[in-house]
Amino acid sequence: FQQRGPAIALLLCAGDKSTQDADIRRAIQIAKDWKR
């Protein structure tokens, strides 16, 4: 999850074990983009 002020975003972007690394990278990128 990410928090900015009173807003909280829960990132629900996941697949299965075969896509876990890509899912984590994507979630990190989404979090970075949201912070801008």
Give Cα separations from 8 to 3, 19, 23, 24, 30 (angstroms).
4, 25, 20, 19, 14
pLDDT in tens, 14-27: 788 999 999 889 88
pLDDT in tens, 2-15: 888 898 888 776 78
- pLDDT for the residue 11: 76
In the structure encoding, which two tokens stand for residue 22, read together? 């890509």
Nearest CA-CA partner of 11 in 36, 32, 19, 21: 32
